[in-house]
Amino acid sequence: MRGSLAVMALLLGSAASARPNIVVLVADDWGFSDVGAFGGEMATPNIDALAGAGVRFSNFHVAGSCAPTRAMLQTGAPSHRAGLGNMPETIPPEHRGRPGYETEMSDRVTTIAERLRPAGYRTYFTGKWHLGHVPANLPTGRGYDRALALSQSGADNFANKPNLLLYDKADWTEDGKPAVLPKEFYSSRLIVDRMIEYLDGGDRGRPFLASVNFLANHIPVQAADSDIAAYRGRYAGGWTRLRHERRAGAIARGVMPAGTAMVRMGSTPDWDGLKPEQRAQRARAMEAYAAMATAMDREIGRLVAHLKASGQYEDTIFVFLSDNGGEAIDPMAQAFTRLNAQYLYDTRPQEQGRPGSLTAIGAGFASAVSSPLRGYKFSASEGGLRVPMIVAWPGNPAVAKGIVAGGFAHVVDVVPTLLAATGVPLVGALAGHDLMPMLAGAAGVRGAAESLGYELSGNAVLFRGDLKLVRNLPPYGNGNWALYDIVRDPGETRDLAGAMPAAFAAMQAEYARWAKREGVLAMPGEYSAPAQIRANAIDDLLWPRLQPVLMWAAGGLGLVIGGVVAWRRRRAQSPGGGTKKPPA
């Protein structure tokens, strides 16, 4: 009865404040336990404060990489329907442009900005977009009034430079046109500066939607020297120790059940087996990662303080989430990218995290930031898909402040939840559910028999009740299906396929029906996402760079050969120019 009354009170609260402001805060590549309120050791006091003022979702899922998650977050539609069944960096050539694989947001779906703007909302976007680069598919083409947007997966954080391993320029635009960035900036600060500028320049008599999308902590991991110095020596104990610390922290903060088991992933090297200089290099990368997260948290605090000072904080709904788990790919681990990086970046170990450097934490620390879960970004394991999510609504007394919501939730639920909070009518079907009852303490919003499918790069999932059917292709798995109870075993340590054969078979059949309905394509040959990133980078970036050089070299060689042939011909035709006869 108490739960029903709480839900009713929340709904009444929504009706009384039918037009709250909305701030959506998206972190990039943060693992499940990166936030202090989810068990992490990094300093995130401002995000933790939002957790204390709202609800932490401990069983919240996204896609295994950024663009598909962002498409679902913007639209409430499955990623294939939104045109992001795969993203430009990881799509095989055989799939590019086919239905569901357009690699840009499809006109089959509607963004939350396109829904809220006709209802009188001001709509603003800053930061990483990654959902299209042509004007019609930039934020201002999809419902946003103002937008400073990066169309790519990442860029340098201190200068208007691209990730040179993937792009030839940083594609920043403002209001659909090439952006003029400050000569000196830091990405997290720039993204919040511009959002505050937009908010202050708009009509205060109308509510707003502010979508704030950080580059932190995408590769290249970079932060100010002072922020890095604050973590000096913190990670000298290595990733295995940190993984155990994070597990204990997550349990202590109530976002993981007591006794949660965890596996040691085969991709995690033995810390003690590394050379001292290797350990120092890896620890320094993790220091930069933590520093970048803390710098982002500080900017969130600045935005929140601005809303408090302007009297808008109480009437604002805050949503914080990461777009996927920690990033395990290390560009320096591959000979080709290592050679390229040494040419394009300052790769000295002592420079990690600083301007001009290329820093990544690699698989070892990526497994730790998602602890106690298995896997990381790109995989369909919980470490790739389960991320921290917080919803706070300070001015609504019906929101149960500081609680943990353990029921299953998904990124497709965010749009219907926000539409319900604003009172904007839902036009057209959405794949998600309104999470409002969970903000008031309800256990969940899905029935035990309801299923939800997912696929990206051949890594596939079907969620149903407490069960998760999952398949990971190499290098993240062996391509076989497994079955886990992710409520009692979130670390995915006990495969239940043999113990529950009927459920295992039924869920495989249900996944096949879902995949057919959504137009999921089988991956070609020996596909793997990391290998495809390298192949696409070579095709899209390296070859265009080399082609003029090779053409110039071929042309030069042709001139040389032509010159030699002409010289020999002239010499043969000149008097005495032929072959001399031997003397008689």
Do residues 126 and 213 touch, judged by C-beta distance below 8 A?
Answer: yes
The whole-angstrom separation of Cα 116 and Cα 209 is: 8
Q: Is 18 left (phi over 0), alpha (psi -120 to 50) or beta?
A: alpha
Cα distances (Å, whole numbers) of residue 401 to 3, 157, 229, 251, 514:
15, 34, 34, 19, 37
Among all residues, which ones are annotated catalytic? 66, 130
The whole-angstrom separation of Cα 572 and Cα 161 is: 57
List the structure tokens of 444.
Answer: 């969940």
Identity at 147, one-letter amino acid code: A
In total, the chain counts a number of residues equal to: 584
CA of residue 275 relative to chain centroid, distance = 32
Give a three-class secondary structure readout of 561-583.
HHHHHHHHHHHHHCCCCCCCCCC
Close Cβ partners of 261 (under 8 Å, ≥ 6 residues apart): 372, 489, 491, 493, 494
Place of tokens 């970004």: 377
Give buried/exposed letters for 7-19 (b at 16+ CB in 10 A, else e).
Answer: beebbebbeebeb
CA 365, 370, 371, 375 torsion-angle sign: negative
The whole-angstrom separation of Cα 407 and Cα 351 is: 43
CA nearest to 199, candidates 22, 46, 424, 396: 22
The whole-angstrom separation of Cα 536 and Cα 370 is: 28
Q: Is 266 exposed, middle or buried (0-12, 13-18, 19+ CB in 10 A)?
A: exposed
CA 46, 320, 143, 19 torsion-angle sign: negative
Report the 10 Å Cβ neighbour count for 564.
10
CA-angle at 469, arms to 466 and 471, nearest 5°: 150
CA 343, 346, 347, 348 torsion-angle sign: positive
Place of tokens 């959504």: 518
Close Cβ partners of 426 (under 8 Å, ≥ 6 residues apart): 416, 419
